[in-house]
A and B are shown apart, each in its own frame.
Chain A
């Protein structure tokens, strides 16, 4: 993944990110309600979100559904991909709608796994089917790592000015 250019965020952008994480109104005009809390106009909030998405400061702005409570499943999966075959396998894996957050990773330990991604399916049974489809498409084994216990997932970010100490 290419390293993103550092984002240029002004004070209002930073307040938008800080304020909207974890809380967005459910009402007829939610952007207007959120904008009011931020002391800006509805149109400005929408325009700033559009701009941050276009600049890839934000990669998504939308609801996070608890798909596991609705019968769906998330599983971390890994593959050991030979360097010479990386591009082919990467394209094949990314073509599946069930795949998200695909990263090439290195490890100090002697693990052969260098490609890690998350499989998300509508049913728990869908994971095995997705693994099989990816194995067929790539010709390589896919190793799912089902979680034993969930400790902590939520991450909220506080956006500061460069040089502003913690």
Chain B
């Protein structure tokens, strides 16, 4: 697994509970993952290139098909 793939994976794990609710969330993630905020943003953009979304799940209204 390349370093990039590993960073993607760690980014998914780090944001599983959600995006940090701090003024600079990408900086907070970068610090946690030992990288730069620019790299975090680039990776997030690349991973979600088809669909850059922040989803809000309303309780009782999440459906899987």
Q: Which residues of A does B touch, CB under 8 Å?
A: 1, 3-4, 7, 17, 20-24, 26-32, 42, 46, 49-50, 53, 56-67, 69-70, 76, 101, 118, 122, 151-155, 157, 159
Contact = CB atoms under 8 A, between A and B. Distances in A.
A46 B28 CA distance: 15
A61 B12 contact: no
Interface residues of B, number: 39
- Which of A53, A63, A159 has the most chain B CB atoms inside 10 A of its CB? A63
A65 B9 CA distance: 10
- Which of A27, A28, A154 has the most chain B CB atoms inside 10 A of its CB? A28
Nearest to A118: B64
Contacts of B45: 26
A63 B48 contact: yes
20 contacts: A1-B60, A24-B19, A27-B41, A28-B24, A28-B26, A28-B27, A42-B23, A46-B22, A53-B21, A58-B57, A58-B58, A61-B19, A61-B21, A62-B17, A63-B52, A64-B54, A66-B47, A101-B64, A155-B62, A159-B58
